[in-house]
Amino acid sequence: MKCFSLCLGSTILAALTIVSCGSHSVSESAGSGAVPAGVDGDKAPEAKGYKVDLVVEGFDRPWGLTWLPDGRMLLTTKSGGVYTVTGDTSTPVELVGFPEVYDGGQGGLMDVAVHPDFAKNGWVYFTASTGSGQANHTTLIRGKLTGNRLTEVKTLFEVTPLKNGGQHFGSRIVWRKDKTMLLAIGDGGNPPTKLDGEWIRNNAQNTQNHLGKVLHLTEEGKPPAKAAVSGGRPEIYSYGHRNIQGMCIDPRDGTVYATEHGARGGDELNKIEAGKNYGWPKATYSKEYSGPEISPDRSLPGMVDPMLIWTPSKAPSGLAIYTGDKFPEWKGNLFSGGLVTRDVRRIVLDKSGKVTSQESIKIGARVRDVRQGPDGWLYVITDEPGGRVLRISR
């Protein structure tokens, strides 16, 4: 089993070795199989040598952000809008034949991703919740973007089964080098939400459906030639996830990282590998919102332990790995947005991929997404009415 770094709050078990709050590093306690410990998730020191500037504002709860080959930003809003951004000017995209978005609870129009061969095919991919409050699911949608008009819209994939309520849709899209995609799907929601007579979240361990999974799909929304999970649905890449809203691929070596929400504490950073089980809800540091433990187990055989845990929750959304030259000291670090902590966490990894420390880049608003721009700076979108695009630079 993997060891992981743990950012704990005030109720740390005496058996854990606590890292000095002065150093804010993350280390392991002594002894074979010892549980590593870290610092309070709300008390990461502030990063130095950066500034945050406004790029553009006025969006209704923006959700996803990417760039087109011509340098324009492409941005989604939860309520169903799509915009291009040039400089400090945003332009709405006309959506022709786009399915109706279920904008309820955590649902809405979510992520956006440009096909690697966009210059040839013009394809843009979106995730959205569709349906109604009583029967809904996450849907993968593709359209052809020409100027500021999206046409040839097609639904490529729909999550099964249908669920009710407005919780835990995921969702992020990332492209692999082979031009297939990974798609993160939430577990469907918290108790008292049920499916077939049991808590819906238990479906994260059911490899016959899509809830609580990372899926592997072709550009047409089809399963790959080879299944990752023996006996499971062919499109399932990994399982045992609660609600991933941050995911990225290191372009240097193809490593996939993801952040997912816990309930009351227990937010996770994971390295996502094909065929692996990430434990939820059988093994977790998260607790019920009402206080009791969700599971007595923190780690179980055959399940992957997190790289990093945040307790109390920071509510991670958006994740980027920095590969630019504007911040050479940040190269290879992960950057995770926080909806609750209202910041971006710089997460430092050593050469072996282990988390060694983290710092806070103060934003002062709910951070929904973090991306590295083509200019080498980091960009953030804020989850709020009148939402903003911000640039992190020097």
Give the active site residues: 168
Buried (b) or exposed (e) across 267-284, using 16+ Cβ within 10 A? Answer: bbbbbbebebbbbbbbbb
How many whole angstroms from its chain centre is CA 269? 9
Structure tokens given for 360: 């806070």
Cα 346–79–246 angle (5° rounding)?
25
* Type and span of the H or E element at 54: strand 51-60
Structure tokens given for 328: 């050479």
d(CA 120, CA 122): 6
Buried (b) or exposed (e) across 105-131, using 16+ Cβ within 10 A? Answer: ebbbbbbbbbbbebeeebbbbbbbbbb
Structure tokens given for 179: 């031009």
Q: Which amino acid is at 270?
A: N
Taking a C-beta distance cutoff of 8 angstroms, is the pair 153, 95 a contact?
Answer: yes
Residue 321's nearest CA partner among 245, 365, 256 is: 256
Taking a C-beta distance cutoff of 8 angstroms, is the pair 368, 63 a contact?
Answer: yes
Residue identified by tokens 């238990």 is 202
d(CA 261, CA 282): 15
Structure tokens given for 342: 């209202």
Taking a C-beta distance cutoff of 8 angstroms, is the pair 318, 336 a contact?
Answer: yes
Complete DSSP assignment for 36-48: PB---TT-PPBP-
